[in-house]
Structure 1
Amino acid sequence: MPSPAARPAPSGGTAPAWEQYRAQLEAYAHAKVNYDYEQVREYTSATGWRIDHYATDLPAEAPGPPAAAGSFAAAQAVMRRYAFPPPDLITGYFDPSQPLEKRIMVLRAHFLVFNFYFGVRVVDVIDEASRPGPDGPERVWGYGYRTLEGHFEKGQINFSVHKNLGTGAVQFRIQAMSQPGHIRNPFYWLGFKLFGRRLQRRFARQSLARMRRLVTEEITQPQTKPGAGS
């Protein structure tokens, strides 16, 4: 597998890093999900599945619909780019010209001194102007992805940003259900058995922290005004 660093393009420019994974993306487009997602209601902790819920507060906005340059919109942009995961742990590569609801991603996972590559398919894109929430109606946007054949895990993880329309509070949430997949290599199987759960939690914690940082930076950076610097 080639390095994910961008390579020179034939024209002398730099090709986007995702293009190095074009063949893998095309192959994963025809891959099957590695579990029976139609039986999702049966997947509970009692049947051997890990069910996780994480959330972090983002900078609040004024009550009402999300502001054009507020934290809800900033979180949407970060999520569309899949920029919130810690890059030293997970990096996602995808064709940006694909609609989000049809997106296939190659995930590069870093573990110890190894890099592993897995395929996932985006599903369950949501865009709701108002949804009942525990503290009142919420504006909600997000998506999930399912694991494909060859992944060390099987399951789905959902990412969403919520704005309370009454209070202006904004949250980023992660919800996941997972179970170890089939790992042929005994060394990798042992490593995942020993460290897999720890890495899952590290991914969630660091993704929440990175989202907070990226959103805060986005909404506090100076806005360039027309004609500035001329």
Structure 2
Amino acid sequence: MGDRVFGRLDVVRAWRELADQTVNYSMDEVRRPAWNIDVHRTPLPAEPPGPPAPGGSWAYGRRLIRDYEFSPPEIVRALYDPTAPLLGRDMLLEARFHGLHFYCGVRVTEVVDETRDGTDHAWGWAYETLGGHLERGKVTYEVVKDGRTGAVEFVATCHSQGAPTLGPVTSLGWRLFGRRTQLRFYRRCGARMRHFVDAALRGETVPARPPSRVGRLVYAPSDARAHRLDGLAVNRVAPG
């Protein structure tokens, strides 16, 4: 699969090199209006009040977040080692824009597994951008259940800005299309999460098939598949 998708690009090497990168921003810099600060919420099927139900909406959402299955493969895919601990895991993201594929690194810097206000159950994780990324910032993906009402939500919380080190052409492209693509990404994440949870609750197998692999790396989400034209794409690693 690797040769068909990535052409001459050695994505395993690009992933390994992420270990030498550090997070490319400081929280002290994050403030409006220079940064986008967003919260995207998608309601999932409700459960009875109380703790998360086995085999319920929250449990399925947790599994989909864990495996990065919510990401729309037409916009962002990821390569990572599923045997590595979640906290500290490096992920090579593949951002796809028509015939351009940008490969950028992120690192999981937080795992959420907590009860809030004595009743609300939250699980998820966050990644932050590494050196060379198109953006700077952090995204937290969570599934949250209100134990009093039974309401369940998929929540993506993020702060971000385009990397100031982008070249002039890439910087212009980011100003024209970056924010629009970013918002479309979060809308699609929510729509996929709702679709997959609905399907799982109907008894369907989700995901329908195992993910592709490149060596020991998983190519996520599971419905990310090679296209005959992918080998012709222009690949750029660490464009920021």
Instruction: Note whether the superposition's TM-score is higher than 0.5.
Output: yes
> Match for 2:30: what amino acid?
Y
Instruction: Describe the shift of the 1:127–1:184 C-alpha distance in structure 2 as closer, same or farther (beyond 3 A).
Output: closer
* Unpaired stretches in structure 2, ≥5 consecutive residues: 206-240
- Paired residue for 1:112? 98
Selected match of 1:145 from 127, 140, 147: 127
Highest CA radius of gyration, 1 or 2? Answer: 1
Selected match of 1:28 from 15, 18, 25: 18
* Mapped pair 1:96 → 2:78: no
Instruction: Describe the shift of the 1:76–1:67 C-alpha distance in structure 2 as closer, same or farther (beyond 3 A).
Output: same
- Paired residue for 1:123? 109
* Unpaired stretches in structure 1, ≥5 consecutive residues: 7-19, 224-230
Please state how far the C-alpha of 1:183 moved relative to its aligned partner.
4.3
Q: How does 1:49-64 map to 2 (within 5 A)?
A: 49-64=35-50
* Post-superposition CA distance 1:62-114 (Å, at most 9, x none): 11111120111101111111111110000011000011112110000011321
Please state how far the C-alpha of 1:187 moved relative to its aligned partner.
2.0
> Match for 1:106: what amino acid?
L
Q: CA RMSD in A?
A: 2.0
The whole-number CA distance in structure 2 between the counterparts of 1:153 and 1:24 is 18
The whole-number CA distance in structure 2 between the counterparts of 1:50 and 1:196 is 12
* Mapped pair 1:77 → 2:77: no
> Match for 2:195: what amino acid?
R
* Mapped pair 1:219 → 2:205: no
The whole-number CA distance in structure 1 between the counterparts of 2:158 and 2:106 is 14
SS in 1 for 2:24: coil
Contact 2:44/2:194 (<8 A) preserved: yes
SS in 1 for 2:20: coil
Higher RCO (CA-CA < 8 Å; seq separation 6+): 2
Contact 2:50/2:119 (<8 A) preserved: no
The whole-number CA distance in structure 1 between the counterparts of 2:140 and 2:48 is 26
- The size of the alignment, in residue pairs, is 202
The whole-number CA distance in structure 2 between the counterparts of 1:125 and 1:173 is 14
Selected match of 2:187 from 198, 205, 212: 205
Give the TM-score normalised by structure 1: 0.82
- Paired residue for 1:11? none
Instruction: Describe the shift of the 1:177–1:24 C-alpha distance in structure 2 as closer, same or farther (beyond 3 A).
Output: same
Percent of aligned pairs with the same amino acid? 40
SS in 2 for 1:100: coil
